[in-house]
Amino acid sequence: MRDLAFLGNPLSDWLLAGGAALGITLVFYLIRRVLLVRLERLSARTETAADDFVVALLRGTRLTVVVYLALAAALSLLELPRSADLVLRRLAIVALALQALTWGNAAVTFWIAQWAERNPQDSDRTTVRAFGYGAKAIVAVIVLLFALHNLGVNITTVVASLGVGGIAIALAVQNILGDLFGALSIVLDKPFVVGDLIAVDQFEGTIEHIGLKTTRVRSIDGEQVIFSNADLLRSRVRNLARRETRRYLLRTVVAVETSAAQLARVPEAFAAAVARDKHLTLQRSHLVASTPFGHEFETAFVVESADFDLAIAARQAVLLQALAALEADGIRLAAAPAALTRSSS
């Protein structure tokens, strides 16, 4: 057996290298298993994501890659021909690149899942999946360039080609890219989420879907309005779902022959009507104009609630109580069309 040799190394050295590779693999396997068990127990008792992330990386470690790297390390103890040694080195770089790609994909999957779990209202499946694919593609490109560089390939030309090609593609699909970045901005910045009531220009409706290119809104009239993400972000969007209060401005015109003493009681009537409801806060009630058609008053108050039904009922109650008080004082509304009591919010 001492006379047996392969590639210039005796069989005993090959057996020794094989034993070393097997030992390294077994040690790694035992360490990985012990760490996984302990970290899984620890992560079950804590709410932090760091230990869960380490567990995900350990689970993503390929045993086949470890076996090959252990074998390559053991073979480095032997005196191999230059060509064989070069092949081993290149295969080791490929194995490391595959492992780095696996870890990168595991990291992307883990953190996207964490974000989706903490933001269930914002995590549209299609959008989250698409961003996951995009992040994994970036990881793959970085790992590929790293591997090519270590394999002796001049990546400067490759990067330059990718840059020129990327610019050409970006110019060709700039509208699509604008919508994609718009979707990213919506998901991260959260100006609105699915279920929010928004107003854009003359449209008002509820967000139904936030996609990669478009956002779909169900209008209050029942039809579906589709906005491109880029156009939507360039518009002035009012998120009505995040309104905390409602403000109403009432304009009332009383008859021109109303006396000064009666005019002084008009703001008092509206103030008393507002004070009766605990959800209302009076801002002002004043005489703002006197014309040949009548005397105009403005009353502003805030409803301390975003509930539309409660707000509209409170506005009605204020109008009815104030008009009843004016009628009791003998104060009449102006007969001209401008005399109609108007309100805005």
Q: Nearest Cα to 220, choosing from 236, 206, 200, 238?
A: 206
pLDDT of residue 209: 86
Question: DSSP class of residue 108?
Answer: H
Q: What values do phi and psi take at 329, rounded to 5?
A: -85, 5
Residue 269 in tokens? 């009537």
d(C-alpha 76, C-alpha 95), whole Å? 16
If the chain, 345 residues long, is cut into consecutive pieces of 10 residues, what is the mean pLDDT of each piece? 59 72 78 77 73 76 73 68 70 78 82 72 60 77 78 68 60 67 78 86 87 86 88 87 89 92 94 92 93 92 89 93 93 70 56
Instruction: Specify whether the CB–CB gap between 131 and 187 falls below 8 A.
Output: yes
Query: How far is 273 from 319, CA to CA, in rounded Å?
Result: 8
Give the pLDDT of residue 282.
94
Report which of 66, 59, 56 is spatially closest to residue 95, judged by C-alpha positions: 66
At 66 the pLDDT is: 73
Spell out the residues 6+ positions from residue 183 whose beta carbon is closer than 8 angstroms to its own.
Answer: 127, 210, 211, 212, 213, 229
The number of C-alpha atoms within 13 Å of 12 and in the hemisphere containing its C-beta is 3
At residue 259, the pLDDT reads: 92
Residues pairing with 219 in the sheet? 205
For residue 339, the model assigns a pLDDT of 46
| Distance, CA of 337 to CA of 281 (rounded, Å) | 29
Taking residue 215's Cβ as centre, other Cβ atoms within 10 Å add up to 26
Q: What is the pLDDT of residues 252-264, one digit of tens each?
A: 999 999 999 999 9
What pLDDT is stored for residue 274 in this prediction? 94
Q: What is the pLDDT of residue 270?
A: 95
* Residue 294, phi then psi, degrees to nearest 5: 155, 180
C-alpha dihedral (171, 173, 174, 178), degrees to nearest 10: -160
CA distance 197 to 217: 9
225 within 8 A of 217, measured Cβ to Cβ: yes
Alpha carbon of 64 to those of 20, 22, 60, 67, 92: distances in Å? 16, 12, 11, 5, 12
pLDDT in the model for residue 280: 93
Tokens 């996951």 -> residue: 132
Cα–Cα nearest to 270, from 295, 299, 303:
299
| Contact between residue 116 and residue 128 where contact means Cβ atoms under 8 Å apart | yes
Distance CA 228, CA 214 (A): 4
- Rounded distance between C-alpha atoms, residue 226 and residue 209, angstroms: 10
Return the HEC string of 98-142.
Answer: HHHHHHHHHHHHHHHHHHHHHCCCCCCHHHHHHHHHHHHHHHHHH
